[in-house]
Amino acid sequence: MRIQMRMSYEARVIIEEEKLNYLKRNVKVTSGEVVDNICERYASNYQRIDWVSVRNNPEYEGVLAHYTEVSPSALTLNQNTIDLLDKLIVLFNLSFGMKRTVYRSFVVRMVLKAFVLDKNNHNIWI
């Protein structure tokens, strides 16, 4: 399914870095496939991730300073990824005590950030 969203600078950087990692292995992927692959990695254990810690981790503080620089992006995502994003919207609304609903772009950014923190050996697990 093709989804239009405004991606943060942080999310775009993480996606591009992952696309480069795939290219180093001679595999060409789209941005949507990167997000699908990362979501698949956490689909069965997303409830064990300390999302508050992920959100508050200053690892990408410099990137987050550019958060106002966003651009529309379209991602083609599989149904399993869409289902996970919808579950995470509900979870994040409860966990973060949000006054307004969480958007998919925020959820994608948190999943990507969790992936990078996990990859860099930060403990993101409860």
* Per-residue pLDDT reduced to its tens digit, 4-14: 988 888 888 88
Please state the φ and ψ torsions of residue 108, each to the nearest 5 degrees: -60, -45
What pLDDT, on a 0 to 100 scale, did the predictor assign at position 65?
Answer: 47
**Domain positions in the chain:** 2-119
Over residues 27-52, the mean pLDDT reads: 96
What pLDDT, on a 0 to 100 scale, did the predictor assign at position 74?
Answer: 87
Cβ neighbours of residue 125 closer than 8 Å, sequence gap 6 or more: 48, 49, 50
Q: Look over the chain and give the mean of its residue pLDDT values, rounded to a whole number.
A: 88
Q: Which residue in 70, 51, 62 sits closest to 112, CA to CA?
A: 51
Does residue 100 or residue 117 have the better pLDDT?
117
